[in-house]
Amino acid sequence: MLKIRSPAKLNLVLEVLGERADGYHELRTVMQSIDLCDEISIEEHPLACHLELHTNTMSCPVDEKNLVWQAIHWLREATGFKEGLVITIDKSIPVSAGLGGGSSDAGAVLAALVARYRLNVGHSVLHQTASRIGSDVPFFLVGGTALATGRGEIVAEAPQLAKTSFVLASPSILVETGKVYRGLRLASTPAKTTSSKDACASFLAHIAQPECWEMMVNDLEAPARQLYPSIDEVFEILSALGVKHAMLSGSGGAVFAPVESPEVARQLAVRLSTAGFWSRACESMDRAEFRESVFSG
Ligand code: C5P
């Protein structure tokens, strides 16, 4: 049996540069791994090409809608991999919350299977396979702090964020990512160009300094809050608790904020949970910690 841990992500900066001809949006985003992880076990099944998924969460599909299912489908296509598999996903990352849970599971399973079965798949084919599954799956082959561009699938290593504590909170709603992107028009976010002020570059230039938190931006925050008013309640309670620099992750509904220490993060998470929100304390993971998590379970 293979056991892996797939870490969630935050978008510390997310800029939408414009709509593309293929219906996606051109992005620039600083992504960050955190130590909130799903646990995945992979067992072999005697029947070739058999695939069975199990999960502990009703809102997580166990058929072709699950990105792990798609990851294995594309891996079989790309490499002829035929091993029968039974995969159990113990989810801690909330589904459809902007924390990349499904994409992280898919990326981790891809990376783990390629390593375990020594599959003959080059770096670029692996990344192509990942990007067919979803725009942010390639990030989960890299991890740590990274800059993603294109529709999110072009991932470059970035300077690593120093160990940082975060508090996470979410209204426990299922956010539809496509709807939030379409809502950009609704929120009349001004169109940017690649020459617009580059918030990702500014953030990364200050990543070792506390001022970096002033430089966080998420262009999806306005449409997400407009479409899902319960996200506003999370921002309101965080503000009432004196938390600064709260920011939506991805298309939401999870909101995160950097805090002084793990203890402060834990205390805030208890108060937010008591107030009825899903909430967790977590810490950033650098690239080495990310790799260790996926490969040593
Ligand atoms: O690529 P993924 O399947 O994760 O994207 C989900 C939806 O989010 C897409 O169908 C699209 O509507 C929207 N999206 C977008 N631009 C991106 C990424 C996602 O419009 N760069």
User: pLDDT, tens digit, for every residue of 149-177?
Assistant: 999 999 999 999 999 999 999 998 999 99
- Kindly tell me if the per-residue pLDDT of 54 is higher than 80: yes
Q: Which of 38, 105, 136, 219 is catalytic?
A: 136
Q: Are 97 and 253 in contact (CB under 8 A)?
A: yes
Q: Where are the beta strands (DSSP E) in 20-83?
A: 25-45, 51-55
What's the CA gap between 284 and 163, in Å, rounded?
6
What is the number of the ligand 1 atom nearest to the C-alpha of 251? 8
Average of pLDDT values for 227-238?
Answer: 97
What pLDDT band is residue 194 in, cutting at 50, 70 and 90? low
Q: What's residue 294's pLDDT?
A: 84
Is 136 catalytic? The answer is yes
Average of pLDDT values for 125-139?
Answer: 95
Q: Whose CA is nearest to atom 19 of ligand 1?
A: 24
What pLDDT band is residue 41 in, cutting at 50, 70 and 90? very high
Q: Where are the beta strands (DSSP E) in 227-283?
A: 247-248, 255-259, 278-283
What is the number of the ligand 1 atom nearest to the C-alpha of 25? 16
What's the CA gap between 127 and 186, in Å, rounded?
33
pLDDT, greater one: 148 or 188:
148
Q: Whose CA is nearest to atom 15 of ligand 1?
A: 24
Q: Which of 3, 9, 91, 163 is catalytic?
A: 9
Q: Which residues of the chain are in CATH 3.30.230.10 domains?
A: 2-158+289-296
Tell if the pTM clears 0.75, that is, is over it: yes
Q: Which residues of the chain are in CATH 3.30.70.890 domains?
A: 165-283
As a whole number of Å, the CA-based R_g of the chain is 19
What's the CA gap between 248 and 109, in Å, rounded?
27
What pLDDT band is residue 59 in, cutting at 50, 70 and 90? confident
Q: What's residue 196's pLDDT?
A: 66
* Average pLDDT value over all residues in the chain: 94
- Kindly tell me if the per-residue pLDDT of 192 is higher than 70: no
- Kindly tell me if the per-residue pLDDT of 255 is higher than 60: yes
Domain 165-283 class, CATH top level = alpha beta
Domain 2-158+289-296 has CATH 3.30.230.10: yes
